[in-house]
Amino acid sequence: MTTSHYIAGHWVEGQGSDCISVNDPALGQPFAELTAASVSQVDQAVAAARSALPAWKSTSASERAAFLRGFAEQLGHRREALITLQMRNNGKPRHEAEIDLDDAIATFCYYAELAEQLPAKNRTVPLAAPGFTARTRLEPVGVVGLIVPWNFPLVTSAWKLAPALAAGCTVVLKPSEVTPLIEQTYGKIADALGLPAGVLNIVNGKAETGAALSNHNGLDKLSFTGSNSVGSQVMRSASAQCRPVTLELGGKSAIVVFDDCDVDQAVEWIVAGISWNAGQMCSATSRLLVQDGIADALLPRLQAALENLRVGNPLTEEVDMGPLTSQAQWLKVASYFATAREEGLQCLAGGHALDREGWFVSPTLYTDVPKDSRLWTEEIFGPVLCARRFATEEQAIAEANDSRFGLVATVCSADLERAERVADALEVGHVWINSVQAVFVETSWGGTKGSGIGRELGPWGLSAYQSVKHVTRCLG
């Protein structure tokens, strides 16, 4: 694949030095190859976005909404191909790939509605002082760089791209080198819809391409989703330019199970929180805090549930969990299995890679994990669950909050008053009560502490791509 970059409305060949190998993780084998964009091509993409900005931000809100609805419709037309590609390149089971696509479609539809409401947001501001009038304008922040991860391609890019376009921004999108193909769909849709050239640009590459984009002085904003280590570099580059940045980073989230829960229901919520996308989620609830009164009944059933998960190739088998998406991630998770053995952790389920082709690991459960264990404190990004017991509500809150991350949490309790109280006390950006991790476009997404800066989704996602201007006029 040579024409793998979409710049100024044209598909162009990569001119960079890196070769990107696109793999099927269920087989551990490549099925496509492309050449990365060069630094010069990143410059061209930013210049194209800059050139397209004046006309695009001047389009009416209804025009932008029509393009967003077009993106949603076109995604739907490509449904089976996109689902298959998610399964093949990410290793997602079919039901997960279907939800990903539906999420992306819903995101474009939602921001089309918000775009149509934008004219009403520009309004007169009442002033206490006589003799003056003032009005508010919400304007696009400008040219934005979007850097998205490999664990939820198509989805995370929709969360950024849709509100950016709705606000009137122009975009340079850099997908992960692990999953570059599915993001190219957005360029194909732009062509099909007649989106003005330069409004959307897509450059593929590895670290060199990402650094060229995040360091580029032609951007007005950066939005990054990924690891804390790369996020800190993105933040440094943003600080050098004194420009706004949105960061959605890691997590080490807790799921708190009180002893009044239905055991089987609790097991379902716990398994979903650690096995979805093979645990490759910043929101994975990988720290299980279970109350003493239910622990002896819950842990054996949880062990059985994890051992009974069907793990395999989603393209050839009916599975509950697929492989890890990359060999690098497979090696990382395997290193934590080795650390667990060195620390002498008690393993109730899994704890090893699977003896088959591809990058598969077993769903894993460790119990009575010390609070200073690396497996308790560090983000693993795999289906590895660590459990500890607690006695009181106060202890559960304290241990859940004892983390450098603060992305999400889940609370499981039949006492809804207590569940709401605990949810309010948790230092995170999103809490589920008695639920799997259902994410809705109308709600916010983002965290506290080391889990990032800013919010995506909901009206907060749109405001992240807007600047506020006030115009004050003297009447005298």
Return the amino acid letter for 402.
Answer: D
pTM for the model stands at: 0.96
Task: Tell me: do 275 and 423 sit in the same domain.
Answer: yes
Q: The sheet that has 143-147: what strands, in order across it?
A: 10-12, 5-7, 200-202, 170-174, 143-147, 221-225, 245-248, 452-453
Question: How open is the CA angle 89-95-98, to the nearest 5 degrees?
Answer: 70
Task: Tell me: do 75 and 132 sit in the same domain.
Answer: yes
Task: Tell me: do 9 and 58 sit in the same domain.
Answer: yes
Note whether residue 405 is domain-resident: yes
The stretch 427-436 carries a mean pLDDT of 98
What gap in Å lies between CA 178 and CA 21, rounded to an integer? 8
Among residues 369, 339, 368, 338, which one has the least CA distance to residue 353?
Answer: 338
Q: Tell whether the model's pLDDT for residue 2 goes beyond 70.
A: no
Find out whether 320 and 309 touch, Cβ atoms under 8 Å.
Answer: yes
Return the amino acid letter for 317.
Answer: E
Question: How many helices (H) and strands (E) in the chain?
Answer: 15, 22
Task: Tell me: do 294 and 233 sit in the same domain.
Answer: no
Q: Assign 1 a pLDDT band (cuts: 50, 70, 90).
A: low
Torsion of CA 300, 379, 82, 155, to 10 degrees: 110
Task: Tell me: do 174 and 45 sit in the same domain.
Answer: yes
Residue burial 19-49, b: 16+ Cβ < 10 Å; e: rest: ebebbbbbbbeeeeebbbbbbebbbbbbbbb
Task: Tell me: do 401 and 294 sit in the same domain.
Answer: yes
Task: Tell me: do 121 and 225 sit in the same domain.
Answer: yes
Note whether residue 117 is domain-resident: yes
Read off the pLDDT of residues 257-280 as tens digits, 9 standing for 90 and up: 999 999 999 999 999 999 999 999
Q: Assign 153 a pLDDT band (cuts: 50, 70, 90).
A: very high
Task: Tell me: do 236 and 264 sit in the same domain.
Answer: no
Q: Tell whether the model's pLDDT for residue 166 goes beyond 80.
A: yes
* CATH code of the domain containing 54: 3.40.605.10
Find out whether 255 and 288 touch, Cβ atoms under 8 Å.
Answer: yes
242 is catalytic: no
Helix (H) or strand (E) holding 466: strand 466-474
Burial (Cβ within 10 Å: 0-12, 13-18, ≥19) of residue 344: exposed
Find out whether 361 and 331 touch, Cβ atoms under 8 Å.
Answer: no
DSSP string for residues in 320-360: SB---S-HHHHHHHHHHHHHHHHHT-EEEE--SB-SSSSS-
Q: Tell whether the model's pLDDT for residue 89 goes beyond 90.
A: yes
Note whether residue 446 is domain-resident: no
Other beta carbons less than 10 A from residue 77's beta carbon:
11
Other beta carbons less than 10 A from residue 61's beta carbon:
20
Q: Assign 122 a pLDDT band (cuts: 50, 70, 90).
A: confident
Alpha helix ranges (H) inside 308-457 = 327-343, 374-377, 393-401, 416-425
Helix, strand, or coil here: 312?
coil
Read off the pLDDT of residues 90-109 as tens digits, 9 standing for 90 and up: 999 999 999 999 999 999 99
Q: The sheet that has 124-125: what strands, in order across it?
A: 124-125, 132-140, 466-474
Note whether residue 445 is domain-resident: no
Task: Tell me: do 17 and 58 sit in the same domain.
Answer: yes
Instruction: At 174, give phi and psi (nearest 5°).
Output: -115, 105
Structure tokens at 22: 């696109």
Task: Tell me: do 347 and 469 sit in the same domain.
Answer: no
Find out whether 350 and 306 touch, Cβ atoms under 8 Å.
Answer: yes
Which residues lie across from 10 on neighbouring strands? 7
Q: List the domain range (segments joined by +) for residue 417.
A: 254-440
Read off the pLDDT of residues 402-422 as tens digits, 9 standing for 90 and up: 999 999 999 999 999 999 999
DSSP string for residues in 237-270: HHHHHT--EEEE-----EEEE-TTS-HHHHHHHH
Residue % of the chain over a pLDDT of 70: 99
* CATH code of the domain containing 416: 3.40.309.10
Which residues lie across from 5 on neighbouring strands? 12
What is the number of alpha carbons within 13 Å of residue 119 lying toward its C-beta?
9
Among residues 201, 223, 202, 227, which one has the least CA distance to residue 214?
Answer: 223
Q: Tell whether the model's pLDDT for residue 243 goes beyond 80.
A: yes
Task: Tell me: do 195 and 267 sit in the same domain.
Answer: no
Note whether residue 9 is domain-resident: yes
Q: Tell whether the model's pLDDT for residue 449 goes beyond 70.
A: yes
Residue % of the chain over a pLDDT of 90: 96
132-136, 325-329, 363-367: least confident range: 132-136
Torsion of CA 262, 362, 403, 99, to 10 degrees: -70
Task: Give CA separation, 263 vs 8, 119, 286, in Å.
Answer: 56, 51, 18
Cα Rg of the chain (Å, integer): 23
Q: Assign 457 a pLDDT band (cuts: 50, 70, 90).
A: very high
What gap in Å lies between CA 363 and CA 377, rounded to an integer? 19
317 is catalytic: no
What gap in Å lies between CA 224 and CA 200, rounded to an integer? 17
The stretch 328-343 carries a mean pLDDT of 98
Q: What is the mean pLDDT of the chain?
A: 96
Task: Tell me: do 275 and 405 sit in the same domain.
Answer: yes
Question: Active site residue: 96, 177, 183, 248, which one?
Answer: 248
Among residues 365, 357, 225, which one has the least CA distance to residue 302?
Answer: 365
| Total number of domains constituting the chain | 2
The stretch 240-248 carries a mean pLDDT of 93
Question: Active site residue: 169, 261, 282, 386, which one?
Answer: 282
